[in-house]
């Protein structure tokens, strides 16, 4: 049987860098925010080994910006998240769980505070633009909301600093984690943040011009030859090791941020106005009934998780695996699972029913994984 093909059309939007990654042999695409996102170059294991040792260029133009600007911009962004933004500053990136009135996860973007009255929500895969426009109308807020022509590009890996210095100068070294600065490329000013969807360190450049994008890619590619640069994309194995949850895979509108282990981004005891706060305060009072944990699953490398796999404790179903990958560095299968209370204690041994029909031991772990947990 032939593998199914992803048909590309205007709905599955290309990015200004699609031509570059296709020339470099992108191996597959997924659709994210109605836009193309690469899934591999070569193989996930080769991509993983390279990412942990060198530096990669990623076309993450699909991380769309929902721009909220105007006199009520700060108020609307605060209404949308349960993270207290009162002490946030211009130049800061903030990871913000967005929730609805039931406290359910709507999205988990990085918010960039561009000015006191202008924000970008760099979103994961759900239609935040429509949600934000609806809220602004319903609440009668004085804001304008749109999706600007901005396509982030990531430079990730241990050699990212050294490569970025060649293009942007020593100033890149001064950018702190989850801060951004305006730096120049060919006389064009770009927001450059120390962030990115890997734990290997690096930057994200918010490309706001479809011509500059490929020129910047080419400049990084040429300079990167000295650092063994390769094209890359968010890597399944690396993100599981690092405990980076994916919205739509590991958390959905079925879950709240407390269940997703995002407690540190929920300041429920602080005094601010947010749509989902009352519901989450109540949920916290009652105690959550399930939570995300890591699992180390025994046996041969498992295939990645397309459908959720059931987790048993004896003959009782106590949760499900949402993402799984074999980690060469841990020499183990690692997974994220949503587990019921009483079955989520690190060290506890459960059973995973893998798609190949096997029942395998699965040891509950804290996230992120360490060699000892």
How many CB atoms are closer than 10 A to CB 223? 16
Distances (CA, A) of 291 to 61, 263, 315, 320, 341: 31, 11, 20, 11, 7
Q: Which of residues 167-226 bind ligand THG (CB under 6 A)?
A: 178, 195-197, 204
In DSSP notation, 112-177 reads EEEETTEEEEE--SS-HHHHHHHHHHHHT---EEE--S-EEEEEESTTHHHHHHHHH-GGGGGPPB
Residue 309 or 369: the one with the smaller Cβ distance to ligand THG is 369
d(CA 297, CA 23): 37
d(CA 103, CA 141): 22
Q: How far is the CB of 225 from ligand THG (least distance, A)?
A: 26
Q: How far is the CB of 71 from ligand THG (least distance, A)?
A: 26
The closest alpha carbon to 329, from 372, 373, 371, belongs to: 371
For β-strands 56-59 and 151-156, DSSP reports them as: antiparallel
Total of residues contacting ligand THG (CB under 6 A): 15
Residue 69 or 156: the one with the smaller Cβ distance to ligand THG is 156
Residue 199 or 312: the one with the smaller Cβ distance to ligand THG is 199
Binds ligand THG (CB under 6 A): choice among 123, 262, 302, 311:
123
The closest alpha carbon to 101, from 122, 86, 79, belongs to: 79
Residue 34 or 289: the one with the smaller Cβ distance to ligand THG is 34
d(CA 247, CA 239): 13
* Residue carrying the six token digits 């005891």: 269
Q: How far is the CB of 119 from ligand THG (least distance, A)?
A: 13
User: What mask, x for binding ligand THG by CB under 6 A, covers residues 101 to 120?
Assistant: -------xxx----------
Residue 185 or 197: the one with the smaller Cβ distance to ligand THG is 197
Binds ligand THG (CB under 6 A): choice among 99, 135, 244, 367:
244
In DSSP notation, 202-244 reads EEEEEE--TTHHHHHHHHHHHHHGGGT-EEE---HHHHHHHT-
The closest alpha carbon to 362, from 353, 351, 373, belongs to: 351
Q: How far is the CB of 317 from ligand THG (least distance, A)?
A: 28
Binds ligand THG (CB under 6 A): choice among 44, 103, 152, 294:
152
- Coil/strand/helix, residue 325: strand
Q: Which of residues 59-98 bind ligand THG (CB under 6 A)?
A: 63, 95
161 binds ligand THG (CB under 6 A): no
Of 15-23, 121-129, 217-225, 358-366, the segment contacting ligand THG by CB under 6 A is 121-129
Residue 156 or 274: the one with the smaller Cβ distance to ligand THG is 156
Residue 156 or 354: the one with the smaller Cβ distance to ligand THG is 156
Binds ligand THG (CB under 6 A): choice among 15, 124, 126, 274:
124
- Enumerate binding residues for ligand THG (CB under 6 A): 63, 95, 108-110, 122-124, 152, 178, 195-197, 204, 244
């Amino acid at each position: 049987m032939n593998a199914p093909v992803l048909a590309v059309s205007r709905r599955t939007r290309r990015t200004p860098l699609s031509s570059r990654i296709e020339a470099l042999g992108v191996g597959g695409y997924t659709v994210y925010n109605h836009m193309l996102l690469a899934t591999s170059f070569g193989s996930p294991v080769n991509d993983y080994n390279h990412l942990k040792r060198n530096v990669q260029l990623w076309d993450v133009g699909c991380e769309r910006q929902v721009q909220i600007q105007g006199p009520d911009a700060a108020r609307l962004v605060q209404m949308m998240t349960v993270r207290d933004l009162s002490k946030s500053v211009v130049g800061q990136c903030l990871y913000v769980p967005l929730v609805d009135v039931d406290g359910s996860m709507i999205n988990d973007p990085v918010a960039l505070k561009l000015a006191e009255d202008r924000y970008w929500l760099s979103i994961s895969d759900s239609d935040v633009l429509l949600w934000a426009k609806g809220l602004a109308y319903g609440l009668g807020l004085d804001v304008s909301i749109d999706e600007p022509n901005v396509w982030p590009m990531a430079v990730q890996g241990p050699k990212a600093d050294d490569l970025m210095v060649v293009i942007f100068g020593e100033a890149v070294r001064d950018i702190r984690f989850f801060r951004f600065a305006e730096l120049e490329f060919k006389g064009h000013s770009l927001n450059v943040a120390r962030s990115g969807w890997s734990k290997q360190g690096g930057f994200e450049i918010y490309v706001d011009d479809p011509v500059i994008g490929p020129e910047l890619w080419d400049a990084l590619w040429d300079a990167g030859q000295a650092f063994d640069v390769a094209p890359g994309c968010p890597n399944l194995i690396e993100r599981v090791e690092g405990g980076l949850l994916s919205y739509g895979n590991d958390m959905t509108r079925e879950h709240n941020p407390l269940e997703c282990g995002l407690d540190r981004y929920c300041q429920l005891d602080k005094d601010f106005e947010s749509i989902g706060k009352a519901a989450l305060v109540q949920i916290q009072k009652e105690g959550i009934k399930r939570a995300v944990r890591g699992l180390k699953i025994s046996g041969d490398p498992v295939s990645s998780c397309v459908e959720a796999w059931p987790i048993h404790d004896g003959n009782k179903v106590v949760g499900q695996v949402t993402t799984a990958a074999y980690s060469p560095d841990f020499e183990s299968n690692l997974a994220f699972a949503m587990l019921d209370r009483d079955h989520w204690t690190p060290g506890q041994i459960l059973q995973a029913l893998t798609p190949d029909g096997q029942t395998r031991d699965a040891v509950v772990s804290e996230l992120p994984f360490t060699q000892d947990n």
